[in-house]
């Protein structure tokens, strides 16, 4: 007799096949990505997908399926190299992994993609607090999605991802050589303070030349100063990096 083996075989078969049947009946048996954001329920855009509902678990492909934007455009805007990741499969919550050194105040994640997609597609979007990649803003300009006034406004929240793309350029905090440590400290991010700029060797004269004045509060972040004075953080940052390099 092999009653016990029979009992195990039947129990497992019923459990697995029956379980799948029940899960299917209850709607849990989802075997493919069906990533669809919620739709606007009223107004001019009722029935269209709402970028505000894009999730971190969506891939570029999921976003491209729901909105009039291509995977290539998204990959280009966010500096995703197709040799490291299959751009289509790249998930939005991987952005934080690809760009870990942006600084505490700098937000470049799902919120940024939502905003970018909204700008690209012309769909209404309210939460405009996230940063945008500089390349993304260039794409919006090149493709006529935004006017000059909007571009200037967006440059204040631009993040130049080319500065962070390779470990040579960003020097991760664990880099061992002291030469690289100096380089790493000189990276300007959203939470770099005015005092940090002095520490990088910049003088009052240079700050006056670039910023137009010497900021009174040394602990203030450069980004806050730029926002307050209506300056473009990314442009100021680029100029300051040039000065530091000299």
Rule CB under 8 A: which residues touch another protein?
1-6, 8-13, 15-16, 19-20, 23, 28-33, 55-57, 59, 85, 89, 91, 93-94, 97
C-alpha atoms less than 13 angstroms from C-alpha of 32 in its C-beta half-sphere: 3
Query: In whole angstroms, how far apart are CA 76 and each of 10, 46, 137?
Result: 53, 29, 11
Closer to another protein by CB, 59 or 193: give it: 59
| Least Å from the CB of residue 120 to another protein | 23
| Least Å from the CB of residue 155 to another protein | 30
| Least Å from the CB of residue 97 to another protein | 7
The residues facing 162 across adjacent strands are none
| Least Å from the CB of residue 59 to another protein | 7
**Which ranges of the chain would DSSP assign to H, the alpha helix?**
3-13, 19-26, 60-66, 71-77, 95-98, 110-121, 134-142, 148-155, 167-170, 178-185, 194-199, 204-211, 222-229, 233-245
Closer to another protein by CB, 18 or 212: give it: 18
For residue 229, which of 220, 219, 239 has the smallest C-alpha distance? Answer: 220
Closer to another protein by CB, 98 or 220: give it: 98
| Least Å from the CB of residue 84 to another protein | 10
Closer to another protein by CB, 34 or 219: give it: 34
Closer to another protein by CB, 59 or 232: give it: 59
How far apart are alpha carbons 145 and 49 in whole angstroms?
19
- CA torsion sign for 105, 106, 108, 113 is positive
| Least Å from the CB of residue 99 to another protein | 14
Neighbours of 23 (CB within 10 A): 12
Closer to another protein by CB, 78 or 120: give it: 78
For residue 159, which of 99, 93, 70, 84 has the smallest C-alpha distance? Answer: 99
Strands 158-159 vs 132-133: parallel, antiparallel or unpaired? parallel
């Amino acid at each position: 007799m092999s009653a016990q083996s029979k009992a195990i075989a039947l129990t497992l078969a019923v459990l697995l096949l029956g379980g799948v049947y029940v899960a299917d009946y209850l709607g849990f048996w989802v075997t493919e990505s069906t990533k669809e954001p919620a739709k606007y329920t009223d107004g001019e855009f009722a029935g269209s997908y709402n970028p505000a509902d894009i999730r971190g678990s969506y891939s570029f492909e999921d976003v491209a399926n729901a909105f009039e934007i291509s995977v290539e455009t998204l990959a280009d805007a966010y500096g995703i190299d197709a040799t490291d990741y299959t751009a289509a499969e790249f998930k939005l919550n991987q952005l934080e992994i690809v760009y870990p050194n942006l600084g505490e105040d700098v937000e470049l994640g799902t919120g940024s993609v939502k905003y970018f997609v909204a700008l690209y597609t012309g769909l209404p979007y309210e939460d405009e607090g996230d940063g945008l990649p500089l390349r993304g803003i260039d794409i919006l300009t090149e493709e006529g999605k935004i006017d000059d006034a909007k571009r200037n406004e967006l440059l204040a929240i631009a993040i130049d991802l080319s500065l962070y793309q390779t470990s040579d350029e960003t020097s991760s905090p664990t880099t061992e050589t002291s030469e690289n440590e100096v380089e790493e400290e000189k990276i300007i991010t959203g939470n770099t303070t005015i005092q940090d700029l002095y520490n990088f060797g910049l003088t009052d004269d240079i700050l006056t030349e670039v910023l137009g004045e010497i900021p009174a509060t040394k602990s203030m972040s450069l980004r806050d100063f730029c926002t307050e004075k209506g300056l473009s953080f990314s442009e100021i940052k680029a100029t300051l990096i040039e000065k530091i390099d000299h």
